[in-house]
A = this chain, B = another copy of it.
Amino acid sequence: MSISMYAASVPVFRQMLGSLVAIIGKAEAYAAERKIEPTVLLQSRLFPDMLPLVRQVQIACDFATGVTARLAGQDVPAYDDQEQGFEQLRDRLQRTLAFLDTVDAARFDGSEDCEILTRPGTPKERRFSGQDYLLTYGLPQFFFHVTTAYALLRHNGVEIGKRDYMGAY
């Protein structure tokens, strides 16, 4: 009569990160074809005080990694966010996908009731049940950054469509 915490997280992250790998590949081809400096796309923003494409992708990876690790009761792997080119960004996505593959679905059992503390010790500290953390925080944040990465590239003329966003489902 219900779904597992694992099913509602890791396969969703995998689907959307897989689609980002392909989308970033199309952006790279588009830049090469039109002799656009990769940085122009990677540093593009929808508004001056929004984050650029490269950060949107990094943060999408961070949410996939962080939510997965916390729900599985594991340490959150740290990355140095040094990606500067398309290839490095795809590599970041692939490393994130590889991390998701290492996590055992059984570790998510009972995670809906575990306590998750975000930004501990800061004014933004927040306590969640595992279920609320995933559904009301982690998934909305993750989809925000995936969709914004897509929107940024679409806005810059890369020929991608909803099918690219949806990935393999």
- Which residues of A are at the interface with B, using a C-beta cutoff of 8 A? 1-5, 7-8, 11-12, 15-16, 46-47, 50, 109-110, 112, 131-132, 135-137, 139-141, 143-144, 147-148, 150-151, 154-155, 157, 162, 165-166, 169
Contacts and interface: CB of A to CB of B under 8 A. Distances in A.
A4 B7 contact: no
20 contacts: A1-B109, A1-B112, A3-B8, A3-B112, A3-B131, A8-B8, A11-B135, A12-B140, A46-B46, A47-B157, A136-B169, A139-B143, A140-B143, A140-B165, A140-B169, A141-B166, A144-B150, A144-B165, A147-B147, A148-B151
B136 A139 contact: no
A110 B7 CA distance: 16
A43 B47 CA distance: 18
